[in-house]
Amino acid sequence: MAIFLSAMNLADLTGTSLATTQKWGENGVYPYRRNENGKMGFYMEDLLDIEPVRQMLQSNWEEEEHVVPLRDFTSVELFAGAGGLALGMHMAGFRHVLLNEMDAMACRTLKRNHPEWNVLEGDIHQIDFTPLCGQVDFLSGGFPCQAFSYAGKKGGLNDTRGTLFFEMARAIREIQPKVFMGENVKGLLSHDNGHTLEVIRNAIAELGYTLVEPRVLKAIMYQVPQKRERLILIAIRNDLAGRVQFHWPDPYRRVMTLRDAFFHGDLFDHDVPPSDGQTYPAKKARVMAMVPEGGDWRDLPVEEQKNYMGGSFYLGGGKTGMARRLSMDEPSLTLTCAPAQKQTERCHPTETRPLTVREYARIQTFPDDWLFEGTIADQYKQIGNAVPVNLAYAIGRSLIRLFNDIDAGNPEESHFEEANHIAHGMLPPELFPIDLTNVRDNYPEQIIQNADGRKRVLGNNDLDDSKNVLVSLVTNENLDPFNRKKANLYYTGKKFPSTVKLNKLYYFMPYTKGKGIRDLYLIKVARVGTKHEVRQECDENDFRLVFELKFVKQLFDDYKPIKLQIWHTFTDTNLRAILAM
């Protein structure tokens, strides 16, 4: 199914203006079409030469969703706020041992939603982190960016004194995590003509860490219905940096909108619940009622513009945040700490009122059961200051993948014997290695073949419930033959779990996102192949583990919901356990 992209969405993805993308369409640079709702825009498949769009179309998002930790990776979070970053990292698999936050209401929010978290309320300046030295894998935090001093000639750690980044640096020095992450506003890149970021770079080097080249991530590319951008700084301790490489997360396949946030769909399984929210005074409500969906003060009659804008009417600049009504079919503007401020208006798309607390939270991709403490103003502030949960979750999965690689390359620190075998090239025959090219060399034709691969299993009495079953996600792009029970090939992700004992695998069950498992297949052969075998447009050298399959039967009357955790739940599962679910 072709994915539609409005001219505004394309502008947001490319960092250009709406006028520019509209001209691209009007001048025929890219096909400009009407969608089923009569709106003009582009189809993503026509925009393959635009890098962000190509990344979205060729994304491995679904595979990355199932990256899970090889062990418990511990973390500390500073400046934790109401938990957007903490929740996303927790969902990815990090185990928080300490969260520090100064705001009392935000701390109450953290404790209410995760009573087991060790939330330390108070000023970071007063915290001694030395007891955690060597006990923590990962440290993160969104440090506030005050002006730095440039009196020093080196422009390093000493020049950050008096700032909260200096306190974060102190925590890093005292804890010595393997990896740390800082997040901040996009403006840090250019703050003071780039001097601020240069001081931070030098400070990170002084701490003994190697900085991954910083990147600004657009939240709209990571299943967040909001035009929010965050600068992400990730650094790896020098003794580990030469052995591993951090890979940024792949984007989601389309841009999420307020319709996705407020109604049942891909983001949430039910409509947004009612909740408290601010209201407009009668005078302002009368003005806002005149603003069309997606419009602002410029759409008011001229006299109303002058009355509402006051002296600002005669000043230069767009002032597009004033009297701004959001659009249901676009992502939200970046949320602020209050939805009804005149300069940063966030009016509901179809109702004349500010967004409610739960609408605010959904735009930040907080789940509906994440509750906020304090007054309405406190709650808006906590939500507006948060990192979008889904953005944090995507980054967290990439970090978990990094930590898995660190453990695989440092077997003395790993809790897993398999990682030790991989690191030293002593791979037992029953374990599948991460490096597919090595497998191809060692097993040029096939890894396993079931002796009765040609036998058609007809009924429950013919099933061998002692045989192992692999349950794996089938991405949307490959789902059709599985829906028709006609699939004969399945390819894995690039890094298939090394803990799966291939020579014991016998059955395969496709997992459909949002539904679960239903159908049983026989694995005839496991071998190294390519993604190109299933999808002709893919690279012929994109090596994957490939299963040749034969449909056996529909095992359940309807889809059985499960939580897919392939590293833990389904790496060594037999059919008996599946039937007992």
CA angle 529, 530, 535 (to 5 degrees): 135
Q: What whole-number distance in Å separates Cα of residue 391 and Cα of residue 62?
A: 15
The upper half-sphere exposure of residue 146, i.e. CA atoms within 13 Å in the direction of its Cβ, equals: 10
Query: Quick one: which H or E segment has residue 259?
Result: helix 258-262
Measure the CA angle with vertex 569, ends 564 and 575; round to 5°.
100
DSSP characters over 44-91:
GGG-TTSHHHHHHHT--HHHHTT---SS-EEEEEES-TTSHHHHHHHH
133 part of the active site: no
**How many other CB atoms are found less than 10 A from the CB of residue 189?**
14
Parallel, antiparallel or unpaired: strands 138-141 and 119-121: unpaired
DSSP, residue by residue, 81-138 = TTSHHHHHHHHHTEEEEEEEE--HHHHHHHHHH-TTS-EEES-GGG---GGGTTT-SE
Cβ atoms of residues 80 and 86 within 8 Å: yes
Question: Can you count the helices (H) and strands (E) in the chain?
Answer: 19, 21
Catalytic residue among 145, 337, 347, 538: 145
Burial class (CB in 10 A: 0-12, 13-18, 19+), 306: middle
Q: How far apart are the first and last CA of the chain?
A: 34
The Cα 94–Cα 77 span in angstroms is 11
Tell me the C-alpha distance between 458 and 449, whole Å: 20
Please list, in sequence order, all residues whose beta carbon lies within 8 angstroms of the beta carbon of residue 99, skipping any fewer than 6 positions away: 76, 77, 80, 83, 86, 110, 117, 118, 119, 120
* Active site residue ranges: 145
